[in-house]
Chain A
Amino acid sequence: MGVLEQFQHWLLGYWPSWAAYLVPAIVAFLVLSSFILLVVMAFIYIERRGVGRFQVRLGPNRAGPLGILQPVADAIKVLVKEDIIPSRGDRRIHWLAPIIAFMPALAIFAVIPFGPRAIFTDINIGILYIIAISSLGVIGVFMAGWASGNKYSLVSALRTVAQLISYEIPLMLSIAGVLIISGSLSMVSIVEAQSIPFILLQPLGFLIFFVAATAELNRTPFDLLEAESEIVAGYHTEYSGMKFSLFYLAEYTHAFAISAIVATLFLSGWKGPFLPPALWLMIKVFLVFIVLFWARSTLPRLRVDQLMGFAWKGLFPLALLNLFITAAEAIIWPGFPWQLLILNLLIAALLIVLWSGLFRVAGERVSFHRYGRGIAKGMALTFRHLFRRPITVQYPEQRLTPAPRFRGNLLVWDEERCNGCRACARACPVSIIDIETKKGDKGLIVETLEIDFGRCLFCGLCVEACPVAALFMSRDYEQASYFRESLVVKKEQFIAAEKRPSAYAYPDLEAEMPPQTLLAPPKEKG
């Protein structure tokens, strides 16, 4: 009996039956949904930071210590953003789509067991319910793509359906292998049946399920429906504010749900020594999620024909073979002895290597020797990046030193040395140097000097033309302005400016310059 039922039985002594039935359910829902939202926020944070590290960058680290408040900042932003509905779109469906996309992702959690008794409701067809409801989210995505009145969104909407119908079959077939061993559809019984985690008994089934689930989540390398290099942002191109964030939430809630399903079906769910059951499940969920975004930061996106070819010619036959091998094993060795672990591992390896050489996708053999090794090498590379120092720096606090001969904006002008010969003005190919002189006691005195950096080419001809070494390129690289006029620098500003001459055209200066730090940032941490 679960915690929920116990609560209900206790309440029955005091309250009428309908209230005793309804109130615990609503309380449990609120607790569960706030927990889910919290985990989703953690997911978003971990993924953004983690992908940052996999790609040797810092990742978001401004909001709060180590950027931990980034999801909160995002939430506030989407809450107060304007909601834009395209005029060509279908208003009603545009409103409805995010709700339909989000609800199924949340509804999966009704049957996820967080512990032997900590489950919202242990229905006897748990896994069937999950399969039924989890694919409903696609309808929301399709509605969004349709209602946007945008061709890119429509392409995305049709792609997501194509992806679903391709990967749903291998997904369901790989679960069937688990069902043969466990002999039950209830999530609690499936976990209880795992004296050995099913990942060991069903290594091939696990791999197929994981790949198909990634495709169903629409995560890279299967994120064709929001392929930003092809179709802007796909189905949510025309969405902003809260509606957009519901899609975003739906994606991560679904990712959480899939991680929890993988943990429950293949990694023996809440089971584990010493620690409390819910904690064990969450550890496994986070591990699965880390693998998900590890793959995301490593693998490139597939093309749509490759994607569907891979599903139908690769995964589907493999899933079928896996199912019948499992069924045969169930009849020959009903108790599933431990010797089967080794046998199944061998069968999985053999089948993957053999089958991968047998079919063509887009006219090319998907040889395991080529792609399997490529994927493994890529994953290893990104994993090594995790421990490297990020290349990016915390910009305003930490700055990079440019090359000694860097041609930056703002020339450095030495008033004492300038003899007013106007060689620089004559050399300038875009005639932006305006210099006026008058006769003084010793020679020419510069009266006005104006250079319009809005039009400067940074060609350095003025510096090369100067006969008295009064003009230098500068090493500054930060100049931005809201007004064009402020880019015209006058004589007084040149005198007042901090002088950071570059070694361009003056190689002697190079010796005293600090070394360039483009790829090796300074040691201090931001």
Chain B
Amino acid sequence: MDGSAPDRREVVIPGDLLNGHGLKPGSGTFNEGGRIYAARIGTVAERDGFVDVIPLSGRYIPRSRDVIIGKITDLGPSHWLVDINSPYPAPLNAKETPWMVEFGDTDRYLHVGDVVIGEIVSVDEAMRVQLSIADRQFGRLTGGQILDISPAKVPRLIGRNGNMVALIREFTNVRMFVGQNGRIWIDGDAEGVYHAAHVIKVIDDSGPAPGLTDQVRAYLEAAYGRRATTPAERDDDGRH
């Protein structure tokens, strides 16, 4: 449990003592009697003087600045209610849109069932969420399809510096957006979408073992019969 085994990501179970030598308890951990323990199933990571447990399962819990994909579930006179795949409902105020929405005119802009990309502006202690789609890169999604994966797998799907999504885009030519809440929007030709969806499913089913990028690269190279332009790395997070 010393966390120094480089090629094997150690899986910890709630209650496991972590080697928090001179480190502070980060997310997914807790402090008891001066020792740091894991609070949930995950893999151990050290960053900026904190010990974290990166979860392997669990629901999406909103955090501010997260970019998410939401579905409109209800409208009010000056807001929409958005399902962000979390235990908390997220209201989207009419002011937080690029449009000048008159009071009572919300149904002219977004309807129940519409899908939006937005940003979580704030989450307070009572977990009240504020959404925004006002920024240029946000808004309503049209076309394509939505896939759901476990929110715990989103960092793996994105990869270090986004190299996993870059790899998928390079081969399949799909337009793809990964929301932090485990919703993915993809659009493209049938073959590209087919392969992208397959790769996303593989990542969703994957465990904590390293080398996922190489597996995905091997699959895509076999499927398309050509080599990736980016050279293969030893590991998908730069360690080896």
A binds B: no
